Structure 1
Protein backbone atom coordinates (compact mmCIF):
# COMPACT_ATOMS: atom_id res chain seq x y z
CA UNK A 1 0.00 0.00 0.00
CA UNK A 2 1.34 3.41 -0.93
CA UNK A 3 -0.80 5.81 1.15
CA UNK A 4 -1.28 3.88 4.39
CA UNK A 5 0.20 1.10 6.48
CA UNK A 6 -1.50 -1.56 8.59
CA UNK A 7 0.27 -2.89 11.67
CA UNK A 8 -0.95 -5.33 14.27
CA UNK A 9 -0.34 -4.70 17.96
CA UNK A 10 -1.74 -7.75 19.71
CA UNK A 11 -5.45 -7.78 18.97
CA UNK A 12 -5.43 -4.22 17.61
CA UNK A 13 -4.84 -3.33 13.97
CA UNK A 14 -3.50 0.22 13.58
CA UNK A 15 -4.13 1.77 10.17
CA UNK A 16 -1.86 4.80 9.74
CA UNK A 17 -2.60 7.21 6.90
CA UNK A 18 0.74 8.29 5.44
CA UNK A 19 -0.16 10.66 2.63
CA UNK A 20 -0.35 13.83 4.69
CA UNK A 21 1.48 15.82 2.00
CA UNK A 22 -1.63 15.27 -0.11
CA UNK A 23 -4.02 15.73 2.80
CA UNK A 24 -4.68 11.98 3.13
CA UNK A 25 -7.27 12.57 0.45
CA UNK A 26 -9.51 10.01 -1.22
CA UNK A 27 -9.28 8.79 -4.80
CA UNK A 28 -9.87 5.42 -6.42
CA UNK A 29 -6.42 4.08 -5.54
CA UNK A 30 -6.90 5.07 -1.89
CA UNK A 31 -10.37 3.49 -1.79
CA UNK A 32 -8.82 0.26 -3.07
CA UNK A 33 -6.34 0.34 -0.19
CA UNK A 34 -9.14 0.78 2.36
CA UNK A 35 -10.96 -2.21 0.85
CA UNK A 36 -7.78 -4.29 1.01
CA UNK A 37 -7.39 -3.41 4.70
CA UNK A 38 -10.99 -4.42 5.40
CA UNK A 39 -10.52 -7.68 3.50
CA UNK A 40 -7.50 -8.49 5.67
CA UNK A 41 -9.27 -7.69 8.92
CA UNK A 42 -12.41 -9.60 7.97
CA UNK A 43 -10.27 -12.64 7.14
CA UNK A 44 -8.47 -12.46 10.50
CA UNK A 45 -9.70 -15.00 13.04
CA UNK A 46 -9.99 -14.21 16.70
CA UNK A 47 -10.08 -11.00 18.73
CA UNK A 48 -9.58 -7.81 16.75
CA UNK A 49 -10.24 -4.08 16.63
CA UNK A 50 -9.16 -1.32 14.25
CA UNK A 51 -7.72 2.11 15.00
CA UNK A 52 -7.41 4.66 12.18
CA UNK A 53 -4.96 7.53 12.57
CA UNK A 54 -2.52 9.67 10.57
CA UNK A 55 1.21 10.23 10.83
CA UNK A 56 0.68 13.90 9.95
CA UNK A 57 0.14 16.01 13.10
CA UNK A 58 -1.90 18.55 11.12
CA UNK A 59 -4.10 16.32 9.01
CA UNK A 60 -6.31 13.30 9.61
CA UNK A 61 -8.00 13.51 6.19
CA UNK A 62 -9.15 16.38 4.00
CA UNK A 63 -11.66 14.31 2.04
CA UNK A 64 -11.82 13.89 -1.72
CA UNK A 65 -8.74 14.42 -3.87
CA UNK A 66 -10.36 17.24 -5.85
CA UNK A 67 -7.59 17.82 -8.44
CA UNK A 68 -7.63 14.10 -9.24
CA UNK A 69 -11.43 14.08 -9.37
CA UNK A 70 -11.61 17.05 -11.73
CA UNK A 71 -9.17 15.32 -14.05
CA UNK A 72 -11.10 12.04 -13.92
CA UNK A 73 -14.41 13.72 -14.73
CA UNK A 74 -16.37 10.99 -12.93
CA UNK A 75 -17.84 12.89 -9.97
CA UNK A 76 -20.96 10.87 -9.27
CA UNK A 77 -19.31 7.54 -10.04
CA UNK A 78 -16.53 8.28 -7.59
CA UNK A 79 -18.94 9.54 -4.92
CA UNK A 80 -20.82 6.25 -5.10
CA UNK A 81 -17.58 4.28 -4.82
CA UNK A 82 -16.59 6.40 -1.82
CA UNK A 83 -20.00 5.77 -0.27
CA UNK A 84 -19.52 2.03 -0.73
CA UNK A 85 -16.20 2.13 1.11
CA UNK A 86 -17.65 4.21 3.94
CA UNK A 87 -20.72 2.00 4.30
CA UNK A 88 -18.55 -1.09 4.41
CA UNK A 89 -16.24 0.47 7.02
CA UNK A 90 -19.23 1.52 9.11
CA UNK A 91 -20.29 -2.15 9.38
CA UNK A 92 -16.86 -3.76 9.65
CA UNK A 93 -17.18 -6.74 12.00
CA UNK A 94 -14.74 -5.40 14.59
CA UNK A 95 -14.71 -2.26 16.77
CA UNK A 96 -13.39 0.72 14.77
CA UNK A 97 -11.95 3.80 16.49
CA UNK A 98 -10.82 7.02 14.83
CA UNK A 99 -7.81 8.70 16.46
CA UNK A 100 -8.30 12.15 14.97
CA UNK A 101 -4.95 13.86 15.38
CA UNK A 102 -5.51 16.71 12.92
CA UNK A 103 -8.03 18.22 10.54
CA UNK A 104 -10.94 16.01 9.44
CA UNK A 105 -12.72 17.85 6.66
CA UNK A 106 -15.56 16.88 4.31
CA UNK A 107 -14.95 13.26 3.28
CA UNK A 108 -12.36 13.01 6.05
CA UNK A 109 -15.02 13.97 8.60
CA UNK A 110 -17.34 11.37 7.04
CA UNK A 111 -14.56 8.79 7.35
CA UNK A 112 -14.31 9.55 11.07
CA UNK A 113 -18.09 9.51 11.40
CA UNK A 114 -18.49 5.93 10.19
CA UNK A 115 -16.10 4.75 12.91
CA UNK A 116 -17.77 3.43 16.05
CA UNK A 117 -15.90 5.82 18.34
CA UNK A 118 -13.89 8.99 17.78
CA UNK A 119 -11.12 10.45 19.93
CA UNK A 120 -9.71 13.85 18.96
CA UNK A 121 -6.84 16.08 19.98
CA UNK A 122 -7.99 19.11 21.93
CA UNK A 123 -5.37 21.66 20.98
CA UNK A 124 -5.20 21.50 17.18
CA UNK A 125 -7.29 20.26 14.29
CA UNK A 126 -10.86 20.80 13.23
CA UNK A 127 -13.84 18.60 12.38
CA UNK A 128 -15.91 19.99 9.52
CA UNK A 129 -18.54 18.96 6.99
CA UNK A 130 -17.51 21.62 4.49
CA UNK A 131 -19.79 20.44 1.67
CA UNK A 132 -22.25 23.34 1.98
CA UNK A 133 -19.40 25.84 1.53
CA UNK A 134 -18.02 24.15 -1.59
CA UNK A 135 -21.49 23.70 -3.15
CA UNK A 136 -21.52 19.92 -2.98
CA UNK A 137 -24.85 18.66 -1.64
CA UNK A 138 -24.87 15.46 0.38
CA UNK A 139 -26.25 12.39 -1.37
CA UNK A 140 -28.86 10.32 0.50
CA UNK A 141 -26.21 7.80 1.56
CA UNK A 142 -23.88 10.52 2.84
CA UNK A 143 -26.72 12.15 4.78
CA UNK A 144 -27.34 8.80 6.43
CA UNK A 145 -23.66 8.79 7.42
CA UNK A 146 -23.98 12.26 8.99
CA UNK A 147 -26.91 10.89 11.00
CA UNK A 148 -24.60 8.29 12.56
CA UNK A 149 -23.18 10.92 14.92
CA UNK A 150 -24.40 10.32 18.49
CA UNK A 151 -25.74 13.87 18.63
CA UNK A 152 -28.31 14.47 15.88
CA UNK A 153 -28.36 18.17 16.71
CA UNK A 154 -24.61 18.47 16.24
CA UNK A 155 -24.73 16.64 12.91
CA UNK A 156 -27.58 18.87 11.72
CA UNK A 157 -25.66 22.02 12.64
CA UNK A 158 -22.34 20.85 11.19
CA UNK A 159 -23.96 19.84 7.89
CA UNK A 160 -25.94 23.05 7.41
CA UNK A 161 -23.32 25.56 8.56
CA UNK A 162 -20.08 24.04 7.31
CA UNK A 163 -18.46 25.40 10.46
CA UNK A 164 -15.25 23.81 11.75
CA UNK A 165 -15.17 22.68 15.38
CA UNK A 166 -12.11 21.99 17.49
CA UNK A 167 -11.70 18.94 19.68
CA UNK A 168 -13.10 20.47 22.86
CA UNK A 169 -16.22 21.68 21.06
CA UNK A 170 -16.61 18.29 19.41
CA UNK A 171 -16.39 16.57 22.79
CA UNK A 172 -18.85 19.00 24.36
CA UNK A 173 -21.32 18.42 21.50
CA UNK A 174 -20.83 14.62 21.52
CA UNK A 175 -19.27 14.46 18.06
CA UNK A 176 -16.27 12.70 19.65
CA UNK A 177 -16.03 10.70 22.87
CA UNK A 178 -12.98 12.53 24.21
CA UNK A 179 -10.74 15.50 23.43
CA UNK A 180 -7.17 14.84 24.59
CA UNK A 181 -3.65 16.26 24.33
CA UNK A 182 -2.17 15.42 20.94
CA UNK A 183 0.28 12.83 22.22
CA UNK A 184 -2.47 11.04 24.18
CA UNK A 185 -4.93 10.48 21.35
CA UNK A 186 -3.43 7.39 19.74
CA UNK A 187 -2.54 5.59 23.02
CA UNK A 188 -6.06 6.23 24.32
CA UNK A 189 -7.57 4.92 21.09
CA UNK A 190 -5.42 1.78 21.26
CA UNK A 191 -6.39 1.22 24.90
CA UNK A 192 -10.07 1.52 23.98
CA UNK A 193 -9.56 -0.81 21.04
CA UNK A 194 -7.81 -3.40 23.22
CA UNK A 195 -10.75 -3.40 25.60
CA UNK A 196 -13.39 -3.60 22.85
CA UNK A 197 -11.50 -6.36 21.05
CA UNK A 198 -12.36 -8.69 23.94
CA UNK A 199 -16.04 -8.56 22.98
CA UNK A 200 -17.38 -11.43 20.92
CA UNK A 201 -16.96 -10.37 17.30
CA UNK A 202 -20.19 -11.85 15.99
CA UNK A 203 -22.23 -10.29 18.78
CA UNK A 204 -20.51 -6.92 18.41
CA UNK A 205 -21.07 -6.94 14.64
CA UNK A 206 -24.74 -7.87 15.04
CA UNK A 207 -25.34 -5.07 17.53
CA UNK A 208 -23.50 -2.60 15.32
CA UNK A 209 -25.61 -3.59 12.33
CA UNK A 210 -28.76 -3.15 14.40
CA UNK A 211 -27.67 0.29 15.55
CA UNK A 212 -26.90 1.36 11.98
CA UNK A 213 -29.96 0.21 10.01
CA UNK A 214 -29.43 2.78 7.26
CA UNK A 215 -25.92 1.46 6.64
CA UNK A 216 -27.19 -2.12 6.61
CA UNK A 217 -29.81 -1.09 4.03
CA UNK A 218 -27.22 0.52 1.78
CA UNK A 219 -24.91 -2.47 2.11
CA UNK A 220 -27.70 -4.86 1.12
CA UNK A 221 -28.85 -2.66 -1.77
CA UNK A 222 -25.30 -2.50 -3.18
CA UNK A 223 -24.30 -6.08 -2.34
CA UNK A 224 -21.32 -4.96 -0.25
CA UNK A 225 -19.20 -7.46 1.67
CA UNK A 226 -19.80 -6.73 5.36
Structure 2
Protein backbone atom coordinates (compact mmCIF):
# COMPACT_ATOMS: atom_id res chain seq x y z
CA UNK A 1 0.00 0.00 0.00
CA UNK A 2 1.38 3.39 -1.00
CA UNK A 3 1.70 5.92 1.84
CA UNK A 4 3.69 8.72 0.19
CA UNK A 5 4.36 9.11 -3.52
CA UNK A 6 6.69 12.03 -4.25
CA UNK A 7 8.76 12.70 -7.39
CA UNK A 8 11.93 11.09 -6.01
CA UNK A 9 10.72 8.66 -3.34
CA UNK A 10 7.86 6.30 -2.67
CA UNK A 11 6.97 5.08 0.81
CA UNK A 12 4.88 1.94 1.07
CA UNK A 13 3.55 -0.45 3.66
CA UNK A 14 4.81 -3.85 2.45
CA UNK A 15 2.68 -5.88 4.89
CA UNK A 16 -0.86 -4.78 5.72
CA UNK A 17 -0.78 -6.84 8.91
CA UNK A 18 2.30 -4.97 10.14
CA UNK A 19 1.56 -1.22 10.14
CA UNK A 20 4.88 -0.29 11.75
CA UNK A 21 6.86 -1.74 8.83
CA UNK A 22 7.86 0.62 5.99
CA UNK A 23 9.63 0.34 2.64
CA UNK A 24 11.21 3.51 1.22
CA UNK A 25 12.04 3.30 -2.47
CA UNK A 26 14.46 5.91 -3.83
CA UNK A 27 13.81 6.93 -7.41
CA UNK A 28 16.02 9.76 -8.64
CA UNK A 29 16.89 8.69 -12.15
CA UNK A 30 19.22 5.96 -13.33
CA UNK A 31 22.03 6.85 -10.90
CA UNK A 32 19.83 7.81 -7.94
CA UNK A 33 22.08 10.75 -7.11
CA UNK A 34 21.52 12.43 -3.75
CA UNK A 35 20.21 15.93 -4.39
CA UNK A 36 18.77 18.52 -2.02
CA UNK A 37 15.32 17.55 -3.24
CA UNK A 38 15.95 13.87 -2.51
CA UNK A 39 17.28 14.75 0.95
CA UNK A 40 14.15 16.81 1.60
CA UNK A 41 11.84 14.03 0.45
CA UNK A 42 13.64 11.41 2.56
CA UNK A 43 13.23 13.67 5.59
CA UNK A 44 9.53 14.06 4.76
CA UNK A 45 9.21 10.29 4.67
CA UNK A 46 10.92 9.97 8.06
CA UNK A 47 8.56 12.62 9.46
CA UNK A 48 5.61 10.64 8.12
CA UNK A 49 6.92 7.43 9.68
CA UNK A 50 7.37 9.16 13.03
CA UNK A 51 3.80 10.40 12.94
CA UNK A 52 2.43 7.02 11.88
CA UNK A 53 4.36 5.21 14.60
CA UNK A 54 3.09 7.66 17.21
CA UNK A 55 -0.48 6.85 16.16
CA UNK A 56 -0.16 3.09 16.64
CA UNK A 57 -1.71 1.52 19.71
CA UNK A 58 -2.39 -1.88 21.20
CA UNK A 59 -1.25 -4.90 19.20
CA UNK A 60 0.02 -2.73 16.34
CA UNK A 61 2.36 -0.82 18.66
CA UNK A 62 3.37 -4.06 20.38
CA UNK A 63 4.76 -5.36 17.09
CA UNK A 64 7.22 -2.47 16.93
CA UNK A 65 8.48 -1.09 13.66
CA UNK A 66 11.25 -1.09 11.06
CA UNK A 67 12.29 0.71 7.88
CA UNK A 68 13.82 -0.70 4.70
CA UNK A 69 15.31 1.46 1.96
CA UNK A 70 16.11 0.38 -1.57
CA UNK A 71 16.04 1.57 -5.16
CA UNK A 72 16.05 -0.14 -8.56
CA UNK A 73 18.33 -0.66 -11.50
CA UNK A 74 22.11 -0.49 -11.59
CA UNK A 75 22.56 1.90 -8.64
CA UNK A 76 21.40 1.98 -5.05
CA UNK A 77 22.93 5.45 -5.22
CA UNK A 78 25.87 6.87 -7.15
CA UNK A 79 26.52 9.44 -4.45
CA UNK A 80 25.94 13.16 -4.15
CA UNK A 81 25.01 15.41 -7.02
CA UNK A 82 28.58 16.55 -6.75
CA UNK A 83 28.42 19.59 -9.05
CA UNK A 84 25.62 21.02 -6.92
CA UNK A 85 27.44 20.14 -3.71
CA UNK A 86 30.64 21.84 -4.84
CA UNK A 87 28.76 24.87 -6.09
CA UNK A 88 26.65 25.62 -3.03
CA UNK A 89 28.83 24.12 -0.31
CA UNK A 90 27.41 24.23 3.21
CA UNK A 91 23.86 24.70 1.96
CA UNK A 92 24.19 21.20 0.51
CA UNK A 93 26.49 19.43 2.95
CA UNK A 94 24.74 20.48 6.15
CA UNK A 95 21.30 19.06 5.18
CA UNK A 96 23.01 15.89 3.94
CA UNK A 97 24.82 15.38 7.23
CA UNK A 98 21.63 16.10 9.18
CA UNK A 99 19.87 13.39 7.17
CA UNK A 100 22.70 10.94 7.88
CA UNK A 101 22.47 11.71 11.59
CA UNK A 102 18.74 11.13 11.57
CA UNK A 103 19.06 7.82 9.75
CA UNK A 104 21.88 6.73 12.04
CA UNK A 105 19.73 7.29 15.13
CA UNK A 106 16.27 6.56 13.73
CA UNK A 107 13.77 5.25 16.26
CA UNK A 108 13.24 1.85 14.62
CA UNK A 109 15.64 -0.64 13.03
CA UNK A 110 16.72 0.32 9.52
CA UNK A 111 17.80 -2.05 6.75
CA UNK A 112 19.45 -0.97 3.49
CA UNK A 113 18.55 -3.35 0.66
CA UNK A 114 21.43 -2.49 -1.65
CA UNK A 115 20.26 -3.38 -5.14
CA UNK A 116 23.30 -2.08 -7.04
CA UNK A 117 26.32 0.19 -6.73
CA UNK A 118 26.55 2.36 -3.61
CA UNK A 119 29.30 4.91 -4.12
CA UNK A 120 30.51 7.82 -1.98
CA UNK A 121 27.44 9.58 -0.55
CA UNK A 122 25.38 6.54 -1.47
CA UNK A 123 27.78 4.38 0.53
CA UNK A 124 27.46 6.77 3.49
CA UNK A 125 23.68 6.62 3.28
CA UNK A 126 23.78 2.82 3.32
CA UNK A 127 26.21 2.84 6.25
CA UNK A 128 23.81 5.07 8.22
CA UNK A 129 21.42 2.10 8.42
CA UNK A 130 21.58 -0.48 11.19
CA UNK A 131 21.82 -3.43 8.80
CA UNK A 132 22.78 -3.90 5.17
CA UNK A 133 21.75 -6.62 2.73
CA UNK A 134 23.46 -6.48 -0.66
CA UNK A 135 22.85 -8.02 -4.03
CA UNK A 136 25.51 -10.71 -4.52
CA UNK A 137 25.77 -10.93 -8.29
CA UNK A 138 26.21 -7.27 -9.21
CA UNK A 139 27.24 -4.02 -7.57
CA UNK A 140 30.04 -2.49 -5.51
CA UNK A 141 30.03 -0.43 -2.35
CA UNK A 142 32.85 2.07 -2.23
CA UNK A 143 34.15 5.45 -1.08
CA UNK A 144 35.79 6.89 -4.20
CA UNK A 145 36.42 10.49 -3.08
CA UNK A 146 40.19 9.99 -3.25
CA UNK A 147 39.91 9.17 -6.95
CA UNK A 148 37.84 12.25 -7.78
CA UNK A 149 39.94 14.59 -5.65
CA UNK A 150 37.40 15.46 -2.97
CA UNK A 151 38.34 15.34 0.74
CA UNK A 152 36.01 13.95 3.39
CA UNK A 153 34.53 16.50 5.76
CA UNK A 154 34.42 15.52 9.45
CA UNK A 155 30.91 14.08 9.60
CA UNK A 156 31.36 12.06 6.43
CA UNK A 157 34.62 10.54 7.64
CA UNK A 158 33.00 9.76 10.98
CA UNK A 159 30.09 7.80 9.57
CA UNK A 160 32.41 5.57 7.54
CA UNK A 161 34.75 5.09 10.50
CA UNK A 162 31.94 4.10 12.87
CA UNK A 163 30.73 1.29 10.58
CA UNK A 164 33.91 0.03 8.89
CA UNK A 165 35.68 -1.19 12.01
CA UNK A 166 38.64 -3.18 10.68
CA UNK A 167 41.47 -0.67 10.27
CA UNK A 168 42.91 -2.29 7.16
CA UNK A 169 39.48 -2.33 5.52
CA UNK A 170 38.88 1.29 6.53
CA UNK A 171 42.23 2.21 5.01
CA UNK A 172 41.43 0.36 1.79
CA UNK A 173 37.98 1.94 1.70
CA UNK A 174 38.87 5.61 2.13
CA UNK A 175 42.51 5.80 1.02
CA UNK A 176 42.43 3.13 -1.66
CA UNK A 177 38.88 3.68 -2.95
CA UNK A 178 38.54 -0.10 -2.96
CA UNK A 179 35.36 -1.34 -4.59
CA UNK A 180 33.93 -4.01 -2.34
CA UNK A 181 31.71 -6.57 -3.98
CA UNK A 182 29.02 -7.97 -1.72
CA UNK A 183 30.95 -11.00 -0.51
CA UNK A 184 34.00 -8.85 0.31
CA UNK A 185 31.86 -6.33 2.18
CA UNK A 186 30.33 -9.17 4.21
CA UNK A 187 33.80 -10.53 4.99
CA UNK A 188 34.91 -7.02 6.01
CA UNK A 189 31.97 -6.83 8.41
CA UNK A 190 30.02 -3.83 7.16
CA UNK A 191 27.43 -5.66 5.06
CA UNK A 192 25.43 -8.31 6.88
CA UNK A 193 24.39 -10.61 4.06
CA UNK A 194 24.83 -11.09 0.30
CA UNK A 195 21.90 -12.61 -1.58
CA UNK A 196 20.61 -13.05 -5.11
CA UNK A 197 18.71 -10.10 -6.55
CA UNK A 198 15.44 -12.03 -6.42
CA UNK A 199 15.90 -12.55 -2.66
CA UNK A 200 17.00 -9.01 -1.76
CA UNK A 201 13.73 -7.49 -0.55
CA UNK A 202 12.49 -10.70 1.05
CA UNK A 203 15.75 -10.97 3.00
CA UNK A 204 15.53 -7.33 4.07
CA UNK A 205 11.97 -7.96 5.22
CA UNK A 206 13.13 -10.96 7.24
CA UNK A 207 15.69 -8.77 8.99
CA UNK A 208 13.13 -6.00 9.55
CA UNK A 209 10.48 -8.30 10.99
CA UNK A 210 12.96 -10.07 13.23
CA UNK A 211 14.30 -6.76 14.58
CA UNK A 212 11.04 -4.83 14.89
CA UNK A 213 10.10 -6.40 18.27
CA UNK A 214 13.12 -4.65 19.78
CA UNK A 215 11.01 -1.50 19.54
CA UNK A 216 7.77 -3.06 20.83
CA UNK A 217 5.59 -0.42 22.37
CA UNK A 218 7.53 2.13 20.29
CA UNK A 219 9.22 3.69 23.30
CA UNK A 220 12.21 5.98 22.73
CA UNK A 221 14.67 3.41 24.10
CA UNK A 222 15.92 2.12 20.72
CA UNK A 223 16.53 5.66 19.50
CA UNK A 224 18.26 6.71 22.72
CA UNK A 225 20.60 3.73 22.70
CA UNK A 226 21.65 4.59 19.15
CA UNK A 227 22.20 8.24 20.04
CA UNK A 228 24.67 7.15 22.71
CA UNK A 229 26.57 4.43 20.86
CA UNK A 230 27.02 6.82 17.93
CA UNK A 231 27.45 9.96 20.04
CA UNK A 232 30.83 10.97 18.59
CA UNK A 233 29.68 10.42 15.01
CA UNK A 234 26.40 12.28 15.50
CA UNK A 235 28.23 15.18 17.16
CA UNK A 236 30.48 15.54 14.12
CA UNK A 237 27.56 15.22 11.70
CA UNK A 238 25.60 17.96 13.47
CA UNK A 239 28.47 20.25 14.45
CA UNK A 240 28.43 22.00 11.10
CA UNK A 241 32.09 21.40 10.37
CA UNK A 242 32.76 21.34 6.64
CA UNK A 243 36.50 22.13 6.61
CA UNK A 244 38.60 18.94 6.39
CA UNK A 245 41.63 18.95 8.70
CA UNK A 246 40.63 22.21 10.37
CA UNK A 247 41.57 20.84 13.82
CA UNK A 248 45.20 20.53 12.64
CA UNK A 249 45.59 24.31 12.90
CA UNK A 250 45.54 23.90 16.69
CA UNK A 251 48.56 21.57 16.72
TM-score when scaled to structure 2? 0.81
User: How far apart are the structure 2 equivalents of 1:110 and 1:219?
Assistant: 12
Residue 77 of structure 2 is matched in structure 1 by: 61
In structure 2, the residue corresponding to 1:127 is in which secondary structure? strand
Residue 176 of structure 1 is matched in structure 2 by: 191
Deviations 1:170-211 (A, max 9, x none): 111112011111111111111111111111342222222222
State how 1:71-220 maps to structure 2 within 5 Å: 73-153=87-167, 154-200=169-215, 201=218, 202-218=220-236
Shift of the alpha carbon at 1:217?
2.3
Instruction: Give the greater-gyration-radius structure (CA).
Output: 2
Q: Structure 2 stretches of 5 or more lacking a match?
A: 1-5, 55-60, 241-251
Q: Structure 1 stretches of 5 or more lacking a match?
A: none
Cα pair 2:158 2:236 within 8 Å, conserved? no
Cα pair 1:98 1:119 within 8 Å, conserved? yes
RMSD: 1.7
Cα pair 2:85 2:93 within 8 Å, conserved? no
Is the alpha carbon distance of 1:41 and 1:156 closer, same or farther for their aligned partners in structure 2, counting shifts above 3 Å?
farther
User: How far apart are the structure 2 equivalents of 1:220 and 1:137?
Assistant: 18
Cα pair 2:26 2:32 within 8 Å, conserved? yes
Aligned residues: 218
User: How far apart are the structure 2 equivalents of 1:139 and 1:66?
Assistant: 14
Deviations 1:32-59 (A, max 9, x none): 0011011111222332110000122x11
Cα pair 1:105 1:126 within 8 Å, conserved? yes
Aligned with 1:51 (options 62, 68, 84)? 68
Deviations 1:75-126 (A, max 9, x none): 2331222111111111111111100010000100000011011111111000
TM-score when scaled to structure 1? 0.90
Shift of the alpha carbon at 1:134?
0.7
More deviation in 40-49 or 117-126?
40-49
Residue 31 of structure 1 is matched in structure 2 by: 39
In structure 1, the residue corresponding to 2:213 is in which secondary structure? coil
Cα pair 2:112 2:132 within 8 Å, conserved? yes
User: How far apart are the structure 1 equivalents of 2:76 and 2:186?
Assistant: 17
In structure 2, the residue corresponding to 1:158 is in which secondary structure? helix
Shift of the alpha carbon at 1:160?
0.8
Is the alpha carbon distance of 1:170 and 1:8 closer, same or farther for their aligned partners in structure 2, counting shifts above 3 Å?
same
In structure 2, the residue corresponding to 1:16 is in which secondary structure? strand
Deviations 1:127-175 (A, max 9, x none): 0101111111001111110112152322332011112111011111112
Cα pair 2:9 2:27 within 8 Å, conserved? yes
Shift of the alpha carbon at 1:67?
4.3
More deviation in 90-99 or 151-160?
151-160
